[in-house]
Amino acid sequence: MAVKCELGFHNTFTHAERILMQSLAEQNPRPFVERRGTGEAREGGPERRQFRATPDSSRPEVAEMAAAVDAYKARHRRRFITFDELYDVIAELGYHK
């Protein structure tokens, strides 16, 4: 059954339907695919990054921070990070106020 709301139609599921979907998801979990280390490109080009050092950057500290952020995101399986997480990465690099 679909319910009309201000933004359009939304599906509502019965308790039995939710239990069935949960059991199916548990039976066939999708494995996490790590593409960063393989060099494979995503559809439409190379994988996008939130932070990236420009190739002509003459500042090695910028490249170091970008690599640290990318490593953090890969380690924690995050596409984007919060400001708190960015602060943690910067602190791990040894910066302090």
Q: Which domain, by its residues, includes 22?
A: 2-37+50-92
**What's the predicted TM-score (pTM) here?**
0.45
The pLDDT confidence band at residue 87, using thresholds 50, 70 and 90, is very high
In a domain, 7, yes or no: yes
Rg of the Cα atoms in the chain: 21
In a domain, 83, yes or no: yes
Write the pLDDT tens digit of every residue in 57-67.
678 888 888 88
In a domain, 97, yes or no: no
In a domain, 42, yes or no: no
In a domain, 44, yes or no: no
In a domain, 76, yes or no: yes
Can you tell me the mean pLDDT for 43-51? 57
Total tally of structural domains belonging to the chain: 1
Q: Is 46's pLDDT higher than 70?
A: no
Q: Between residues 36 and 39, which one has the greater pLDDT?
A: 36
